């Protein structure tokens, strides 16, 4: 375990920007489904996540092109 630092700030009610020493991400709040908020996150490692908060349900996918050999 080590010391961790994370900086985040919101712009309005929809956008949240996160930054730590390894990278960053942008989170967008989406609509409410069955009383649960939907969040969409994209990070600098070309990964996207859609999650339904409070349920443990989420979907991750890699963005971008093919991997190099």
The predicted model scores a pTM of 0.68
Phi-psi region of 27 (alpha: psi -120 to 50; beta: other; left: phi over 0): beta
- List of residues 6+ apart from 27 with CB closer than 8 A: 15, 16, 17, 18, 39, 40, 41
What tens digit of pLDDT does each residue of 28-64 get? 998 888 888 899 999 888 899 999 988 999 999 998 8
Q: Which pLDDT score, from 0 to 100, does residue 50 have?
A: 93
Q: Which pLDDT score, from 0 to 100, does residue 31 have?
A: 87
Q: How far is CA 23 from the centre of its chain?
A: 12
* Ranges of each domain in the chain: 1-43
Residues 39/53, Cβ–Cβ less than 8 Å:
yes
């Amino acid at each position: 375990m080590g010391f961790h630092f994370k900086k985040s700030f919101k712009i309005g009610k929809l956008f949240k920007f996160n930054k730590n020493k390894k990278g960053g991400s942008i989170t967008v709040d989406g609509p409410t489904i069955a009383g649960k908020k939907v969040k969409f996150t994209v990070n600098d490692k070309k990964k996207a996540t859609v999650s339904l908060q409070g349920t443990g349900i989420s979907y991750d996918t890699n963005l971008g092109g093919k991997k190099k050999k």
